[in-house]
Amino acid sequence: MTEMIDQLLTHPLGVLVGFFSVAILALIVYLSCFEWVTKYNCWDEIRKGNVAAAMVTGGKIFALCNVMRYSITANTSIYGMIKWSFFGFILLLVAYLLLEFLTPVFSVDEEISKDNRAVGLTVMLITVSLSYIIGSSILG
């Protein structure tokens, strides 16, 4: 199976489809994990019109895709991309959990669920900014 996949990835179109497919699947899995650790349901909040939740979720999507972009650029194989994007995801997840811990004055998740847009914007910018640092640290 691995040999067949490697052979498909020798063609430029195969590389595009391969990386794109893996990135979409990884994005779904990583967002599901983020959903699991938050105290609110991102998609329910977005459906209700919660702009703070939309900003945070959009920031997570951008940050995850940015880390995957760096992973693709730094690696010549899909396996390297999977490995480095997974490590990047773990770092983003830890950073998100640390953010909750480092703000003892209020709960980040509670403020986002109350549509506190200042908190949503701050969390989005921190997440996106950290994705650049994580991405720049990825080695091929």
Predicted pLDDT at 98:
93
Q: What are the 10-residue block averages of pLDDT along the chain, 140 residues in total?
A: 72 84 95 91 95 97 96 85 93 92 89 96 96 89
Predicted pLDDT at 1:
63
pTM, entire model:
0.87
Q: What is d(CA 53, CA 112) in angstroms, rounded to the nearest whole number?
A: 6
Q: What is d(CA 121, CA 127) in angstroms, rounded to the nearest whole number?
A: 10
- 40 in the Ramachandran plot: left (φ > 0), alpha (ψ -120 to 50) or beta? beta
Let me know: does 5 contact 18? Beta carbons within 8 Å. yes
